[in-house]
Structure 1
Amino acid sequence: MSTTEQINTLLVANFGADPGAIRPEVSLRQLRLDSLALEELRLLIEDRMDVDLDDLHLTSRDTVAQLVAAVDRRAAA
């Protein structure tokens, strides 16, 4: 499963995001993720993908594509 698919699955299953609304250019704010939800998402991604995201600072202005790219960079490091 790709990084995009895994993140999309987490967004739908844990945050109730509409699968049709999750597109690369959509901001995390548009998916209704606040700062607490962003931290929870970061922890879920770490657990599910076994990647260290401790230094990753997510904001609600980040897009889904930016999140995927950041996770891919950390996974490749």
Structure 2
Amino acid sequence: MNYMIFMLKNSYSNSFSYSRDWMHSSIKIMLFLSFLRKEVMGILMVMQDYFGLLGGKTYSKYTAKPHSVLRRKLNRRFS
């Protein structure tokens, strides 16, 4: 466990040593965080598509079909 933390610290210090000033690295961090947020939102959208969390006649972002249709298909597949 300690070894893993040590490795993480090393990789972080390496990535920051490339940036000349702290501002640059902070921008990098901000970009990374925004990327992560986008990823999480994408995963949430997919989960909403699969489980129909939005309910009613909300449309899937990916297939442009109502969630109710998707839900019926998935129910048929899982039953």
Point out which structure has higher relative CO (alpha carbons under 8 A, 6+ apart): 1
Fold conserved between structures, TM > 0.5: no
Instruction: Answer 1 or 2: which has greater helix percent.
Output: 2
